[in-house]
Structures are given as structure tokens and as C-alpha cells.
Amino acid sequence: MTSVAHPAGRRLDAFAVASEPGNERMALARVAEAVAGHGLPAARLERLKTAVAEATMNAIEHGNQGRAEIPVDLEVIEDGDDIVVTISDLGGSRAPAGPAEEPDLLAKLEGQQRARGWGLFLIRNMVDGMDVTTDGPRHTVRLTMRTGDAGAPAADGGGHEEGL
């Protein structure tokens, strides 16, 4: 697996899942296991798990187009007071989907937006930081969660909404 550039930190785990529907559950369970005992309070761990699951689902469905033979690579790093999780697929060369439409529940209820489209919104609101990079075909989402109670959700990520 190719490592994503990251600041010096301690790798807690690195693994890959096949690009098959449902494997995001495996990814979130393994990330949860990797970060256990590293200072994330339970509520913030739940947030990280949701963000990891959504980013992995995006990588499976939209990055790797559900092609099981192409893995989604995940890396879990402890970097000072941060837990950093990177999720990489090989869909970087795909056409960008354009600016994400901010989900508006009332618009969805009135049929002006589709019911889906919550994935990126959830990720951004669950973690303290989200960055998206593309290096050739490699598309990487980097999620940062501060340990302890000090972290606060921040919608600071770029990227594209991908049909969730």
C-alpha cells in the first residue's frame, strides 16, 4: 500500500478493504480498534467512526466504482494530540463532480433536492478537519480528530459530494 504524506506520527494501523458494498463497516470497526485507548472520548469516537464509514463508502462506490479487486487503503496515525485517518482510492482521475450542493432538508422534503446527498456533509460535521488530495489516480481523504474534549466539529473540508 502507498503511504500518504503525513507529519511525523505514529502509525497505529494500516490496512485495505476490498471495494465491495458494506466493507465500510469493517473499516470503521478496525479504525475504532486502532484508536482505542488513545484519548478519544466515546462520543467523539462515534463521530470518527461515522466519518470513516462515509469516506470509505465514497471511496468504494465512487472512487473505485465498486470494483472489488481495487482496494481502499486506510491508515491510522497518532500525531501529537491528533488522530489522523487517511482513506485512499484510485478514482482520482475521475471527472470532478463539481461543487457540493449543501443539503437542505426542507428542499429535500419538498422535492427540490434529491433525498440523498448527506455523505460529505456528515463527514465535515463529524470531524475536526478534512482535507482532500489527488495525486494522479490516487484520491485521498484525510480526517483529523483531536483527542480529548477540546476538539470541535468544523466544516472546513474541500472535496466533492459523491452521491451519498
Could you say which residues in the range 40-99 bind another protein, by CB under 8 A? 43, 46-47, 50, 53-54, 57
108 binds another protein (CB under 8 A): yes
Shortest gap between Cβ of 117 and another protein (angstroms)? 7
CA 57, 61, 6: angle at the middle one, nearest 5?
55
Q: Do residues 53 and 28 make contact, with C-beta atoms less than 8 angstroms apart?
A: yes
- Residue 22 C-alpha cell reads as 458494506
Shortest gap between Cβ of 88 and another protein (angstroms)? 19
Cα–Cα dist 100/161, whole Å: 5
- Residue 7 C-alpha cell reads as 507529519
Shortest gap between Cβ of 149 and another protein (angstroms)? 15
Size of the site for another protein (CB under 8 A): 32
Sheet with 10-18: list strands edge to edge: 10-18, 71-79, 82-89, 138-146, 129-135
Binding site for another protein (CB under 8 A): 21-22, 24-26, 29-30, 33, 43, 46-47, 50, 53-54, 57, 103, 105-106, 108-111, 114-119, 121-122, 125, 164
